[in-house]
A and B are shown apart, each in its own frame.
Chain A
Amino acid sequence: MRGLLNFLIKYHVFFLFLFLEMFSLTLIVRYNNFHRVSFLNSSNVVTAGIYDKTQSVADYFSLKHINETLSEENARLRQQLQSLLLTDIENASDYVIGVDTVEAYSAKVIRNSVNKQYNYLTLNKGAGDGIEPDMGVVGADGVVGVILDVSKNYSTVLSVLNGRWAINAKHEKTNHFGPLQWDGFDPSFAYLEEIPYHVKIKKGDKIVTSGYSSIFPEGISIGEVEEIEHSSGDTFQEVKVQLSVDFGGLFYVNVLKNKNKEERIELEKSTRNE
């Protein structure tokens, strides 16, 4: 016993080193598995508060750019509204389905990164504003990510630029779907996988959300096909997609709430159990 104690005391630095490393690795692995350590992320009051303050200073320098993107979005929405008004309402049932099931909250991005392996955003809205985990986040140009954690006034978003997550995406023309994932290199491209060889895909084709998960409604833009990679021996083709959102220049986003989510999840669960 005494010998053991002496041994521990003699090598206490090394054991402390091992202990701290083990502890850190546990944190990493646990986070990998989406067990969330909520106080250890940037939605907590202190860290989000600091980002909020500094972002509001930084905003003054980008007001021009923000204005331009907002007015562009305005113009686009007005155009869509016009074309909707011109459509004969009775033949327009395609447009009307699903309109009532989605609610959108506007939020400001107070923290963003694109140069890490696992990128996250922090938003200035939280549980107090009705934000919940697993809600979809979209920008003016398309899909941005999904809400990961919420505190009272802030929330963190798992960005599309994060290898720990894949969006369910589809090829708009043919409706063939597969997971779309970022490979950790260039923030403007991601890869759509599991598209069988017989599907004809051309450069410039649109890739949109599939609507098969309850996070995003169907048909929200993700990006355009940049090139198709055929690797021999593979049963699927890999599609390189140019993302439509410029992740480096995000200021305002919308958080989407699917009102029928619980009902849908409940139903899908009961089907699976039978």
Chain B
Amino acid sequence: MNKGLTWYIVLFATAVLVQVLFMDAIQFSGLVNPYFYVIFILLLPLYVPRYLQLLLGFVLGITIDVFSNTPGIHASAAVFMSFLRPFFINSTNVDEKDRGKIPSLMNMGTGWFMKYSGVLILSHHIFLFYIEIFTFSNFINTLTRSVLSALFTFVLIVISQFLIFRK
């Protein structure tokens, strides 16, 4: 199941709108801020040129930044995540026949997808929360907030797989 350019443009717009209109409104005692928009980076085809992944990550991040008045914060975190992604993919053995596919939960299997999205979401969130607060004081508090938020984003993204790719 392959998707074209249009599908990715729609995914980009949806990811951004869902993030700024719904996710940013979620407030659990200031601890949990899910960053659902990373789904766009997760669902890019497995073997896009790496420079393109970085650029797309940057464009996605800066778009979120413009909406939330945080120039550079989301951009740097999204670029960081896009940079890590190929390393994770290369470290796992992806079947020859799966290479052209979208790395969705259905295409890649539950175990692979959970590891893949878990690792990348967690690294994105930790990077983001430390960049945002710009200090290592309150180290534990920031870590707690990033891990809880990452967990929440992870659950949302796994659920979204069933909504986006339903048969």
Contacts and interface: CB of A to CB of B under 8 A. Distances in A.
Contact of A20 (B32, B54, B138): B54
A156 B73 CA distance: 18
Given A31-B71, A116-B33, A248-B27, 8 more contacts: A20-B55, A24-B58, A25-B76, A28-B71, A42-B66, A116-B70, A156-B69, A186-B30
A187 to B, nearest CB: 6
A168 interface: no
Contacts, number: 100
Secondary structure at chain B's binding surface: helix, strand, loop or mixed?
helix
Interface residues of A, number: 37
B72 A24 contact: yes
A123 to B, nearest CB: 13
B14 to A, nearest CB: 13
Q: Which 8 A-B pairs have the closest CB atoms?
A: A27-B72, A24-B76, A28-B72, A24-B72, A27-B71, A24-B75, A120-B69, A13-B50
Contacts of A23: 72, 75
A42 to B, nearest CB: 5
B69 A24 contact: no
Interface in A1-31: 12-13, 16-17, 20-21, 23-31
B67 interface: yes
Nearest to A46: B66
B30 A114 contact: yes
Interface of A: 12-13, 16-17, 20-21, 23-32, 37, 40-42, 44, 47, 50, 54, 113-118, 120, 156, 184-187, 248
B80 interface: yes
A113 B57 CA distance: 24
Nearest to A44: B66
Interface string B69-92: 111110110011001000000000
B132 interface: yes
A26 B27 CA distance: 29
B79 A20 contact: yes
Contact of A54 (B21, B61, B76, B79): B21
